[in-house]
């Protein structure tokens, strides 16, 4: 019943039980069982990490996903952790790789980053700091947290986010036809300073926009050594965390007409457990109550 409530809207579970199991289970029953299970699930067990001793490095990604609540749109902060051994290459071009993950662990919190960070830290606690590879979108609080807590880790600014920033920041002016493509190549070569010089030469770009772009690339230059990252075998995109938004949050919690209230946090915890393949924590709850 809990699994049904975690994967689909409560009304659909009523149909499922009647159609396939010939059981009369109301939507409210599924809601109550799901809610109780989520409330009983201990976060110290849910976010107990692993050491990944058999892996050369471990990726960690963080981003935010918004859901509609009774108080308006609120952010759910999402983290995803996986080893390089769990990455399966599906397709590859000169500038982009599509991968599939055989296993990963999730962290999610509906609230402030101050409450989210200890949960993520717990998930990472058994991993050697120098094995960590963070790939993020340049969010200031994430960057500060990584630098303070994991100074030995490798920090990478998502390459595709860096390109998007440049594309959006210069779309209002005419540029040579191959200008953006050339900047992509410079970034892949780790030549951020050259990209900054190219931005300075855009005479039609308003000074305020120009300064904003220059500051962005100057402030993030230390995590834009894409040539080195690729030589080391690291991925430079954060597609895994974008996928996490869909599978962990949006598929269940961003459906038409949904507005979330007190059931938000228990359901998020349960989805973290199921998507991280930690169903044994749910099973343990029912064994205790039996």
DSSP 234-257: -----HHHHHHIIIIIIHHHS-TT
Give me the chain's average pLDDT, please.
91
Q: Are residues 142 and 272 in the same domain?
A: yes
Query: Looking at residue 5, what is its pLDDT?
Result: 83
Query: Looking at residue 167, what is its pLDDT?
Result: 95
152 to 82, 143, 283: CA distances (angstroms): 18, 13, 38
Is 290 a residue whose pLDDT tops 70? no
Q: Are residues 10 and 121 in the same domain?
A: no
142 lies in some domain: yes
Domain that holds residue 219: 161-223
Contacts of 5 (CB under 8 A, 6+ apart): 13, 30, 31, 33, 34, 267, 270
User: Does the predicted TM-score (pTM) go above 0.85?
Assistant: yes
Query: Looking at residue 174, what is its pLDDT?
Result: 85
Counted domains in the chain? 3
Q: Which long-range contacts (CB under 8 A, 24 or more apart) does 190-195 make?
A: 190/224, 190/225, 190/226, 190/227, 190/228, 192/217, 192/221, 192/224, 193/221, 195/166
User: Where does residue 157 rank: exposed (0-12), middle (13-18), buried (19+ CB within 10 A)?
Assistant: buried
pLDDT, tens digit (0-9, with 9 covering 90-100), for 30-84: 889 899 999 999 999 999 989 998 889 999 999 998 999 999 999 999 999 999 9
pLDDT, tens digit (0-9, with 9 covering 90-100), for 168-207: 999 999 888 899 999 999 999 999 999 999 999 999 999 9
Cα torsion through 237, 238, 243, 245, rounded to 10: -160
Q: How confident is the model at residue 24 (pLDDT cuts 50, 70, 90)?
A: confident
Q: Are residues 175 and 34 in the same domain?
A: no
Q: Are residues 112 and 251 in the same domain?
A: yes
Is 286 a residue whose pLDDT tops 90? no
Is 96 a residue whose pLDDT tops 70? no
Q: Are residues 60 and 112 in the same domain?
A: yes
Report H helices in 83-158: 113-124, 140-149
CB 143, CB 158: distance < 8 Å: no
Query: Looking at residue 104, what is its pLDDT?
Result: 95
Q: Are residues 267 and 134 in the same domain?
A: yes
Q: How confident is the model at residue 148 (pLDDT cuts 50, 70, 90)?
A: very high
Q: Are residues 112 and 256 in the same domain?
A: yes
290 lies in some domain: no
Q: Are residues 142 and 248 in the same domain?
A: yes
Q: Are residues 216 and 257 in the same domain?
A: no
Q: Are residues 198 and 56 in the same domain?
A: no
Q: Are residues 209 and 272 in the same domain?
A: no
Q: Are residues 145 and 259 in the same domain?
A: yes
pLDDT, tens digit (0-9, with 9 covering 90-100), for 198-255: 999 999 999 999 999 999 999 999 999 999 999 999 999 998 999 999 999 999 999 9
């Amino acid at each position: 019943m809990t699994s049904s409530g975690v994967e689909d809207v409560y009304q659909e579970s009523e149909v499922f039980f009647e159609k396939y199991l010939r059981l009369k289970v109301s939507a409210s029953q599924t809601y109550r069982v799901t809610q109780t299970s989520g409330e009983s699930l201990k976060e110290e067990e849910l976010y107990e990490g692993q050491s990944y001793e058999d892996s050369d490095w471990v990726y960690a990604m963080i981003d935010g996903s918004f859901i509609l609540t009774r108080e308006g749109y609120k952010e759910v902060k999402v983290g995803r952790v996986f080893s390089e051994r769990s990455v399966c290459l599906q397709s590859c071009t000169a500038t982009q790789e599509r991968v599939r993950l055989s296993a990963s662990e999730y962290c999610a919190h509906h609230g402030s980053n101050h409450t989210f960070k200890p949960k993520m830290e717990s998930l990472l606690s058994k991993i050697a700091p120098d094995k960590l590879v963070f790939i993020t979108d340049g969010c200031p609080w994430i960057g500060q947290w990584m630098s303070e807590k994991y100074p030995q880790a490798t920090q990478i600014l998502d390459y595709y986010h860096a390109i998007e920033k440049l594309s959006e920041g210069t779309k209002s002016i005419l540029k040579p036809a191959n200008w953006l493509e050339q900047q992509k190549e410079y970034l892949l070569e780790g030549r951020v300073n050259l990209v900054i010089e190219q931005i300075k030469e855009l005479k039609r770009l308003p000074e305020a926009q120009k300064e904003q772009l220059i500051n962005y690339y100057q402030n993030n230059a230390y995590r834009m050594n894409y040539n080195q990252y690729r030589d080391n075998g690291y991925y430079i995109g954060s597609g895994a965390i974008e996928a996490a938004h869909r599978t962990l949050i949006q598929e269940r919690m961003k459906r038409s007409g949904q507005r979330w209230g007190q059931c938000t946090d228990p359901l998020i915890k349960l989805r973290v457990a199921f998507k991280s393949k930690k169903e044994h924590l749910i099973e343990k709850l029912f064994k205790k109550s039996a």
